[in-house]
């Protein structure tokens, strides 16, 4: 389907909660408006959930643990997960269009990355769950010990707006694979694709009550994270929110998995393949408007390559087209909301006050009466204490800093509360392995960025995360192990 055709045929939807297999209004019938960040038009209304809705959804999810789902053979559950993935692909064009309308991201990107990844999350865990083993040990002739897995119970899945379907499926698929029931809380900014996902789950054969969804703001999320009948919370979003969730979950001692903010460094040595560096840095800086927690927003370049890097990086950045998410030549779409747009522009003001130089951008994109468009921005000349170098901006804004020595760059890279991901560029394998082991992040990509294998541990250290997702790490989070010891 051509992009313009998709825009014409796929209509935005109003979003209701989804409880016990039915779309329902908020118990008090409250709603809020969902706004398209590229046009500022109202896309529709969304049920505004609160404690009562969460109580209902959690109650239903708890009941469903004991029902058909709890007793379903692994193979049958795996087939349902596979079917969900298939149905996501069948509805790819519709889902991608809704995702682009909700987020302001280019439609081609939603098609190419978000929706395929969402389907793949289900396909991956459908396969993985059938081949999972557990530990067993023979203790001489004394005993055999073996572990069995069981679901954690009711899990709350709380998500942000940057990769809405992709991140919801990254949590829901392993949660279901491990036999849990779920209450999803999509971001208030991006409610549409999760709403469709609920219907897809039903069509694929998920029994009513297993997958539930409450829309709304932080108070709806807090009602989930503090609920005594929710056993675990998987959250992606801002670090401060993670801290709030931890507090509200503390009285009921929930299991927590947090994937939070980042200020990820790209470290570029002069011996790296500069063509590859430039192409990849373009993606790691500006893909999805820089609104990916993995984006490399602090770029450190060895001084002997600094000028060449800046010249080539700035030239390519100036070629980027900012604009209509439905135009397939658009590289950078709209930021998520007016609030976030103001936050990003505020950081550009800070960069000016801090004495930074804008090699590109530095302001709102011109030529738009409506929508939250910011020019891709490269800032140089900032010191290591600069707020723009240290704080998560989460937009199409990067800082570039030269370095001379390995130790010097390592110190700067690690001098942060964040610890999500790093991208290290060098053709010296000894240096790559030496440095990778010292960089304080959960992920280090060497000569690449965002190359994912869903079996690998994914997540951050320090204030960027708690726990890891992916493969067995997801299973460990979404299940409880019971060790059984049989005396011989």
Give the residue numbers annotated as catalytic, written as ranges: 259
Taking CB atoms, the residue at the shortest distance from ligand LM24SWP5 is: 293
Contact partner, 208, from ligand NAI, ligand LM24SWP5, none, Cβ < 5-8 Å per class: none
Residues 174, 475: contact at Cβ < 8 Å? yes
Q: Could you tell me the smallest distance in angstroms from the CB atom of residue 339 to ligand NAI?
A: 8
Burial 163-181 (b: 16+ CB within 10 A, else e): bbbbbbbbbbbbbbbbbbb
Which listed residue (188, 208, 231, 375) binds ligand NAI by CB under 6 A? Answer: 188
Decide whether 78 or 377 has the Cβ nearer to ligand NAI: 377
Contact partner, 230, from ligand NAI, ligand LM24SWP5, none, Cβ < 5-8 Å per class: none
271 contact partners, CB below 8 Å, separation of at least 6: 426, 427, 428
DSSP letter string over 383-407? Answer: -TT-HHHHS---SSEEEEEEES-HH
Q: Could you tell me the smallest distance in angstroms from the CB atom of residue 158 to ligand NAI?
A: 5
Burial 264-277 (b: 16+ CB within 10 A, else e): bbbbbbbebebeeb
Give the helix, strand, coil percentages of the chain, each rounded to 5.
40, 20, 35
CA–CA dist 460, 260 (Å, integer): 8
Decide whether 191 or 209 has the Cβ nearer to ligand LM24SWP5: 191
Residues in the chain: 488
Decide whether 23 or 450 has the Cβ nearer to ligand LM24SWP5: 450
CA–CA dist 20, 479 (Å, integer): 23
Confirm or reject binding of residue 260 to ligand NAI (CB under 6 A): yes
Q: What is the dihedral of CA 470, 440, 421, 194, to 10 degrees?
A: 50
CA–CA dist 375, 363 (Å, integer): 6
Contact partner, 458, from ligand NAI, ligand LM24SWP5, none, Cβ < 5-8 Å per class: ligand LM24SWP5
Confirm or reject binding of residue 450 to ligand NAI (CB under 6 A): no
Decide whether 236 or 360 has the Cβ nearer to ligand LM24SWP5: 236
Confirm or reject binding of residue 53 to ligand NAI (CB under 6 A): no
Q: Nearest to residue 362, comparing CAs of 399, 324, 391, 337?
A: 399
Decide whether 289 or 360 has the Cβ nearer to ligand LM24SWP5: 289
Contact partner, 452, from ligand NAI, ligand LM24SWP5, none, Cβ < 5-8 Å per class: ligand LM24SWP5
- The binding track of 103-142 with respect to ligand NAI, each residue x by CB under 6 A or -, is ----------------------------------------
* Contact stretch for ligand NAI (CB under 6 A) within 38-46, 236-244, 303-311, 425-433: 236-244
Q: Could you tell me the smallest distance in angstroms from the CB atom of residue 37 to ligand LM24SWP5?
A: 17
Confirm or reject binding of residue 237 to ligand NAI (CB under 6 A): yes
Please report, for residues 268, 299, 306, 412, the alpha-carbon distance to residue 425 in angstroms, rounded to integers and kept in the order given. Answer: 5, 11, 13, 16
Footprint on residues 292-311 left by ligand NAI (CB under 6 A): 293
Number of helices and strands in the chain (H, E): 17, 20
Contact positions vs ligand LM24SWP5 (CB under 6 A):
160, 162-163, 167, 170, 236, 259, 292-294, 452, 458
CA–CA dist 68, 80 (Å, integer): 13
Q: Could you tell me the smallest distance in angstroms from the CB atom of residue 123 to ligand LM24SWP5?
A: 15
Which listed residue (157, 245, 249, 401) binds ligand NAI by CB under 6 A? Answer: 245
CA–CA dist 261, 240 (Å, integer): 9
Q: Nearest to residue 147, comparing CAs of 133, 166, 167?
A: 133
Confirm or reject binding of residue 221 to ligand NAI (CB under 6 A): yes
Residues that bind ligand NAI (CB under 6 A): 158-162, 185, 187-188, 217-218, 221-222, 225, 236-238, 241, 244-245, 259-262, 293, 340, 343, 392, 394
């Amino acid at each position: 389907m051509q992009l313009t055709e998709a825009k014409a045929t796929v209509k935005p939807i109003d979003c209701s909660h989804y409880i016990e297999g039915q779309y329902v209004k908020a118990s008090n019938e409250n709603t809020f408006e969902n706004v398209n960040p590229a046009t500022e038009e109202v896309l529709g209304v969304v049920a505004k959930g609160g404690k009562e809705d969460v109580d209902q959804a959690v109650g239903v999810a708890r009941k469903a643990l004991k029902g058909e789902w709890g007793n379903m053979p692994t193979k049958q559950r795996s087939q349902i997960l596979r079917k969900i993935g298939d149905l996501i692909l069948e509805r790819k064009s519709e889902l991608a269009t809704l995702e682009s309308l909700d987020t302001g991201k280019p439609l081609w990107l939603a098609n190419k990355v978000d929706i395929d990844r969402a389907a793949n999350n289900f396909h991956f865990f459908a396969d993985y769950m059938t081949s999972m083993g557990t530990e067993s040990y023979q203790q001489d002739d004394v005993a055999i010990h073996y572990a069995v897995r069981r679901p954690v119970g009711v899990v709350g899945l709380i998500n942000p707006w940057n990769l809405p379907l992709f991140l919801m499926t990254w949590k829901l698929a392993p949660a279901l694979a491990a036999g849990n029931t779920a209450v999803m809380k999509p971001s208030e900014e991006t409610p549409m694709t999760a709403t469709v996902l609920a219907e897809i789950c039903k069509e694929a054969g998920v029994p009513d009550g297993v997958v539930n969804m409450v829309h709304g703001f932080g108070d709806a999320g807090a009602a989930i994270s503090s609920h005594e009948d929710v056993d675990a919370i998987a959250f992606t979003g801002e670090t401060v929110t993670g801290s709030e969730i931890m507090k509200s979950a503390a009285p009921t001692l929930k299991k927590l998995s947090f994937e939070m903010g980042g200020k990820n460094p790209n470290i570029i040595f002069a011996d790296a393949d500069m063509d590859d560096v430039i192409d990849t840095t373009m993606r790691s800086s500006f893909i999805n408007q820089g609104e990916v927690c993995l984006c490399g927003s602090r770029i450190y370049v060895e001084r002997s390559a600094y000028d060449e890097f800046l010249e080539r990086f700035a030239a390519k950045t100036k070629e980027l087209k900012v604009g209509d998410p439905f135009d397939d030549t658009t590289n950078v779409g709209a930021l998520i909301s007016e609030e976030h747009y103001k936050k990003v522009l505020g950081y550009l003001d800070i960069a000016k006050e801090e004495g930074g130089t804008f090699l590109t951008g530095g302001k709102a994109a011109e030529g738009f009466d409506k929508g939250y468009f910011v020019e891709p921005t490269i800032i140089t000349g900032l010191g290591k204490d600069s707020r723009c170098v240290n704080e998560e901006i989460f937009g199409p804004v990067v800082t570039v800093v030269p370095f001379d020595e390995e130790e010097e760059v390592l110190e700067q890279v690690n001098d942060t509360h964040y610890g999500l991901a790093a991208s290290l560029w060098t053709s010296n394998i000894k240096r790559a392995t030496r440095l990778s082991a010292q960089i304080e992040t959960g992920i280090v990509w060497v000569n690449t960025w965002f190359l994912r294998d869903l079996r690998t541990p994914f997540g951050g250290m320090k204030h960027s995360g708690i726990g890891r997702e992916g493969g067995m790490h997801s299973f460990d989070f979404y299940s409880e192990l019971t060790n059984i010891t049989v005396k011989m």
